[in-house]
Amino acid sequence: MALLVALVAAVATFFTGVGTAQADTGNVHIAHVYVSMSAPYANQGQISRDWGTLLQSIRNAAGHWFRNESNITQDGNAIPHALIRADLNLTNAAGHQTELRLWFTPNNMYLRGFSTTSVDASSPANGDVTYYFNDSDFNLANEMNYLRNSSPERTLLPPATYVRLPYAGTYTAMARPADQGGPGVTRNNTQMSYSQLYDSVFQLAYLQRGTEQNGGSNFVTTARSLMRMIQITSEAARFRDVQGIVIQSMANHGMQYTMPLLQQELENDWRGLSRYAYDNENAGGHDVGPHVPYVTTVARALGYLALLYYPFQGSGA
């Protein structure tokens, strides 16, 4: 923890580069996107441009153009084996490099796990470890091993050192450990800010193996960091309103934000709103939730949706 605090205190950062991806990630392929950040601070416009570019690149890797300025995910049934690797590369004022690699399935933009920094000179045994959610429908370790033998981009994969997290990758599952201790953290009060982003990146990138398990010193903080990562990547890639909140939280240094109920209701109804927009059912409208104005046109739905979920993938996709 002392190392984490020292690293975070040393960081005054801005976004210096973004690696982009083209439309769709084909079967047995791995898309690679990244954002690089280093000292000193950036202004809001710079953060908006670079993080926005990262999110659009994630959308392009997850799917393809649908209509207006919205993308739609690729079909997980037709493309069953694919991953997106998103790197968050941080360099602090002292020149210390930190790399956190996030792994997503493109057909549904689920965060499936993360890999620790490969440059952890202070604790080499904890570098290049991949932690993955205990999901019943998907095993990241198995998928990586499959792609290690079949993907043209196999060199993007980390070494085959895996640790299963003690919870699934849902808000409900992560909230159980995240809400422990004081003050408890739930989805409703997960804080997002400039400093919270870096706290989470460093905490995950330098995670000491074993401390993430039930009773470990990082059991609670790891779940909290992952809830935050899902908001600033997966959810922000899906919804323009969420992207706006995320970028605002990063740009206004010293301010703390939580995700409003309207945006949470959009997140909960991603598949339903996507199906409405896909079917072009202008008549009848669509009810997202009590805090979201009743959606009566596809244009309004697409105003929310930066990335639609392709609706014909089956319940497990």
Rounded average pLDDT over 186-215? 87
Predicted confidence (pLDDT) at residue 199 exceeds the cutoff of 80: yes
**Residue 25 within a domain:** yes
Q: Give whole-number Cα distances, 115 to 95, 146, 253, in Å.
A: 21, 17, 27
List, for residues 277-303, the tens digit of each pLDDT value: 999 866 689 999 999 999 999 999 999
**Residue 285 within a domain:** no
**Residue 34 within a domain:** yes
The answer to whether the beta carbons of residues 315 and 78 sit under 8 Å apart is no
**Rounded Cα gap, residues 88 and 250, in angstroms:** 14
Please tell me which residue, 1 or 30, carries the higher pLDDT value: 30
The pLDDT assigned to 7 comes to 28
Predicted confidence (pLDDT) at residue 3 exceeds the cutoff of 80: no
**Rounded Cα gap, residues 228 and 190, in angstroms:** 7
**Rounded Cα gap, residues 286 and 298, in angstroms:** 10
Tell me the residue range of the domain where 83 lies.
Answer: 2-65+79-238
Q: Give whole-number Cα distances, 18 to 2, 84, 170, 192, 268, in Å.
A: 30, 15, 28, 21, 29
The pLDDT assigned to 121 comes to 61
**Residue 46 within a domain:** yes
Dihedral Cα 190, 195, 201, 202, nearest 10 deg? -120
**Residue 262 within a domain:** no
Residue closest to 251 by CA, chosen among 192, 202, 187: 192
- Domains in the chain: how many in total? 1
The pLDDT assigned to 100 comes to 95
**Rounded Cα gap, residues 273 and 38, in angstroms:** 38
pLDDT level of residue 182 (50, 70, 90 thresholds): low
**Rounded Cα gap, residues 309 and 107, in angstroms:** 8
Tokens representing 96? 């210390």
List, for residues 138-172, the tens digit of each pLDDT value: 999 999 999 999 999 999 999 999 999 999 999 99
* Model pTM score: 0.89
The pLDDT assigned to 284 comes to 80
Mean pLDDT over all residues of the chain? 86
Please tell me which residue, 280 or 316, carries the higher pLDDT value: 280
**Rounded Cα gap, residues 237 and 62, in angstroms:** 10
Q: Are strands 162-164 and 130-132 parallel, antiparallel or unpaired?
A: parallel
Predicted confidence (pLDDT) at residue 13 exceeds the cutoff of 50: no
Sheet holding 63-67, edge to edge: 63-67, 70-73, 307-308
Phi, psi of 139 (to 5 degrees): -125, 110
Percent of residues, the chain, with pLDDT higher than 90: 64
**Rounded Cα gap, residues 207 and 201, in angstroms:** 10
Q: Are strands 63-67 and 70-73 parallel, antiparallel or unpaired?
A: antiparallel
**Residue 156 within a domain:** yes
Rounded average pLDDT over 182-195? 76
Give me the CATH number covering residue 153: 3.40.420.10
List of residues 6+ apart from 260 with CB closer than 8 A: 245, 291
pLDDT level of residue 1 (50, 70, 90 thresholds): very low
**Residue 88 within a domain:** yes
List, for residues 30-61, the tens digit of each pLDDT value: 999 999 876 555 566 677 778 889 999 999 99
The pLDDT assigned to 9 comes to 27
**Rounded Cα gap, residues 228 and 224, in angstroms:** 6
**Residue 100 within a domain:** yes
